[in-house]
Amino acid sequence: MNEIILKGIGAASGVAIGPAFLFGKEEFRISPHKISETSIALEIARFEDALIKTRHEILEIQKRIAEEMGTEHAEIFDAHLLVLEDRTLIEDVIVRIKKEKFCVEYIFSEVLKKYVSVFSRIEDEYLRERVSDINDVGKRILRNLLGEKKNIVVDVDAENLILVANDLAPSETASMYKKNIVAFVTDIGSRTSHTAIMAKSLEIPAVVGVEVATQKIINGDILIVDGKTGTVIINPEKETLDRYETAKLKINVQKERFVNLKELPAETKDNREVLIAANIELPEEIPSVIEHGARGIGLYRTEYFYMNRTDLPSEEEHYQAYRHVAQAVSPHHVVIRTLDLGGDKFLSQLHVPRDMHPFLGWRAIRFCLARPDIFKIQLRAILRASVHGQLKLMYPMISGIEELRQANNLLEECRNELRKEDIRFDDNLEVGAMIEVPSAAITADIIAKEADFFSIGTNDLIQYSLAVDRTNEKIAYLYEPAHPAVLKLIKNIIDAGHKSEIWVGICGEMSGDPELVLVLLGLGLDEFSMPPASVPLIKQLVRSVSYKDAKKIAEYALSLSTGKEVEEYSNQRLQELVPELLGENDASK
């Protein structure tokens, strides 16, 4: 059998080798078997049995996830339990078995189809999103009726499975935490999509945007996934397999070498120290932050709090989580980003209509300013937690000074309320702005006068400045972090921040890219915040060069005409300055 090579977008680096496991592709061939009058009671009893079994399974998974990941992740399954208790659906099945006299599998699958199609056409966002819950639970019930294996992801025992899917929803990636999945391959998605961010936090390689992965790959195919180059090899030949096995070993050796760096600062040879912090989505990632030697958290994405649940988080829940994170990484800082809803992050319980252009629509700070009732709950909680460690607060998607002022007015209202209620908070809590919209990048000098710090969100800044949807794999080739327009905007933000004597960090995925770190360092950034697993390599790179050299590199990079030229130049300089640190994990050669 000849090997087949598929190309996608390398979204989380590393090499994995293992059998393919296709997710969400189970097909149930159910024929309409007629049953006799006397079998009706038996079919109904089988249906009730399957419902009970499914309920037990869900509770079991929920318990396991609560133990391993915390209760907030387990709550995803509450919605599944609700579907199981839906009397209309259950009655519908029973009535049709009695009337039509077909086997329960067939009737149930027909009822399921009807529900899915009705819900998919509903205008209401919240109800429409119930489709995936209905589908999930429906398949589970069918599997139990048919006597098939239980949960395909959680219960598969084989080692080193490579998960292949069209796309992975946040609730699906959540249930894979710490399981035997060693890589993700998806048809759709991009470098900054949720799957990519989650893969990095799970420290497994991912190739997304492959387009034809679920068509070309079948269950059990042996796959090599190279998350750096975005390559997926189906049923590799022996020689290819050997080459990648060697590369995998080298990556592990390199990882071990970095362990010694844990306690060391990210300081250049000529003594410029920058802060290397980590990005997290979930408090469960804190051990990984500490293990990888990050100095604090430069971006705590708080959307997860609001996802996969039927109600809004209370002030107390927010407070407990922020307090926990602040204490766990103390004495280092934690930058909490306020709710960044919209764009690619939709929350089911907030009835937000889908905009025609979600990334340009009612998202992030725009939503929060329009809904102070929701926003202030989070602001109050952050203020309350600020006495327990080094907390900082930042607003996403600030597009100009007015939004920063409006947000700060609401924050001031919260401070006044807390004072009245005699509740303590840190008066000196730093409040920063994420700079991820070109208008904010260009007017950074104005915003800097009223912000305590900047954090550059390059994931969005790149998409907005180059007019490239960050989630669209068809135009991913245009999504160029090293594009001269992006570099010039970054430089403008850093210079404006420094002129106003505030610190400037970066928290987009670009911060963990070894190929651009020298340019970013040379542009004068004070903090780099990245997925925890990227910290050791970036720290080692910073420690291996001088700031003087990095500045020259940045200056020359700014004079180049295209993103490709910048990349080539920066790579070439990196090879000259630190040849021992790079290339080792490039198995494609």
Q: List the catalytic residues.
A: 194, 507
Minimum gap (Å) between residue 303 Cβ and ligand PEP = 8
- Helix, strand, or coil (residue 183): strand
Q: Which is nearer to Mg ion, 460 or 469 (CB)?
A: 460
Interface with Mg ion includes 460 (CB under 5 A)? Answer: yes
Q: Does 340 bind ligand PEP (CB under 6 A)?
A: yes
Is residue 459 involved in binding ligand PEP (CB under 6 A)? yes
Region of 146 on the Ramachandran plot (φ > 0 left; ψ -120 to 50 alpha; else beta): alpha
Question: Which CB, 247 or 493, lies closer to Mg ion?
Answer: 493
508 binds ligand PEP (CB under 6 A): yes
CA distance 111 to 97: 11
Q: Which token pair is 180?
A: 């035997």
Single residue of 313, 389, 457, 514 touching Mg ion by CB under 5 A: 457
Site for Mg ion in 429-448 (CB under 5 A): 436
Phi then psi for residue 280, to 5 deg, are: -135, 155
- What is d(CA 575, CA 577) in angstroms, rounded to the nearest whole number? 6
303 is a contact residue toward Mg ion (CB under 5 A): no
Instruction: Please report, as residue ranges, which positions from 379 to 398 form the binding site for ligand PEP (by CB under 6 A).
Output: none
- Tell me the two tokens of residue 165: 């899917």
Q: How near is the Cβ of 426 to ligand PEP at its closest, in Å?
A: 24
462 versus 587: smaller Cβ distance to ligand PEP: 462
| Count of other CB atoms within 10 angstroms of residue 589 | 7
Site for ligand PEP in 172-211 (CB under 6 A): 192
Other CB atoms within a 10 A radius of the CB of residue 296 amount to: 21
Q: Which of 302, 386, 458, 585 binds ligand PEP (CB under 6 A)?
A: 458
Integer Cα distance of 589 and 583 in angstroms: 10
- Rounded Cα gap, residues 507 and 513, in angstroms: 11
**Bridge partner list, 208:** 9
Binding pattern for the stretch 543-562 against ligand PEP, x by CB under 6 A and - elsewhere = --------------------
Cβ atoms < 10 Å from Cβ of 63: 12
403 binds ligand PEP (CB under 6 A): no
Structure tokens at 254: 């390199």
Residue 301 contact partner, candidates Mg ion, ligand PEP, none, CB within 5 to 8 A by sort of partner? ligand PEP
CA distance 538 to 357: 35
Name the residue nearer to ligand PEP (CB basis): 20 or 466.
466
Q: Which residues pair with 297 in a beta bridge?
A: 278, 334
Question: Nearest CA to 26 among 136, 117, 108?
Answer: 136
Binding span for ligand PEP by CB under 6 A among 129-137, 171-179, 284-292, 451-459 = 451-459
Q: Is 432 in the site for ligand PEP (CB under 6 A)?
A: no
Q: Smallest distance from the beta carbon of 435 to ligand PEP, in angstroms? A: 10
- 460 is a contact residue toward ligand PEP (CB under 6 A): yes
Is residue 301 a contact point for ligand PEP (CB under 6 A)?
yes
d(CA 85, CA 509): 42
Distances from the Cα of 370 to the Cα of 47, 348, 413, angstroms: 47, 18, 15
Question: With CB under 5 A, what is the number of residues at the site for Mg ion?
Answer: 3
**Alpha carbon of 174 to those of 65, 135, 186: distances in Å?**
9, 17, 16
How far apart, in whole angstroms, are the C-alpha atoms of residue 469 and residue 464? 8
Dihedrals φ, ψ of 203, to 5°?
A: 60, 45
CA nearest to 326, candidates 336, 317, 313? 336
| Residue among 221 and 340 whose Cβ is closer to ligand PEP | 340
Residue closest to Mg ion (Cβ): 460
Beta carbon nearer to Mg ion, 129 or 436:
436
Of residues 197 and 502, the one with the C-beta less far from Mg ion: 197
Determine if 297 is a binding residue for ligand PEP (CB under 6 A): no
Rule CB under 6 A: is residue 143 a binding residue for ligand PEP?
Answer: no
Contacts of 263 (CB under 8 A, 6+ apart): 293
The number of residues in the chain equals 589
Select 389 or 505, whichever has its Cβ closest to Mg ion: 505
**Whole-number minimum distance, CB 420 to ligand PEP, in Å?**
34
How far, rounded to the nearest angstrom, does the alpha carbon of residue 361 sit from its chain's CA centroid?
Answer: 21
CB of 117 vs Mg ion, minimal distance in Å: 35
User: What is the DSSP secondary structure assignment for residue 467, as one 8-state letter?
Assistant: T
Decide: is 534 part of the binding site for ligand PEP (CB under 6 A): no
Helices (H) and strands (E) in the chain, counts: 23, 17
Residues 105, 129, 187, 436: which binds ligand PEP (CB under 6 A)?
436
Q: Give 57 or 460: the residue with its C-beta nearer to Mg ion.
A: 460
The CB-of-444 to ligand PEP minimum distance in angstroms stands at 15
Q: Of the two residues 272 and 301, which places its CB atom closer to ligand PEP in the complex?
A: 301
Determine the 3-state secondary structure of 87 from DSSP: helix
Q: Tell me: does residue 457 bind ligand PEP (CB under 6 A).
A: yes
Task: Give backbone dihedrals phi and psi of 408, rounded to 5 degrees, phi first.
Answer: -65, -30
Q: Which of 185, 282, 334, 507 binds ligand PEP (CB under 6 A)?
A: 507
Query: Considering only 6-14, 51-59, 453-461, 483-491, which stretch makes contact with ligand PEP by CB under 6 A?
Result: 453-461
Residue 385 identity (one-letter amino acid): A
Nearest approach in angstroms of CB 341 to ligand PEP is 11
Kindly indicate which of the ranges 118-126, 267-275, 457-465, 567-575 contains the residues binding ligand PEP, using the contact rule CB under 6 A.
457-465
Q: Does 226 bind ligand PEP (CB under 6 A)?
A: no
- Which residue from 111, 181, 233, 299 is in contact with ligand PEP, where contact means CB under 6 A? 299
Nearest distance from C-beta of residue 461 to ligand PEP, angstroms:
7
Within 147-237, residue ranges assigned H as helices are 170-174, 194-202, 213-216
Q: How far is the CB of 458 from ligand PEP (least distance, A)?
A: 5
Q: How far apart are CA 581 and CA 185, in angstroms?
A: 27
Among ligand PEP, Mg ion, none, partner that 192 touches (CB below 5 to 8 angstroms by kind): ligand PEP
Q: In what order do the strands lie in the sheet with 161-165?
A: 4-7, 231-234, 222-226, 15-22, 161-165, 181-186, 206-208, 9-12
Binding residues for ligand PEP, rule: CB under 6 A, are 192, 299, 301, 340, 436, 457-460, 507-508
Residues that bind Mg ion (CB under 5 A): 436, 457, 460
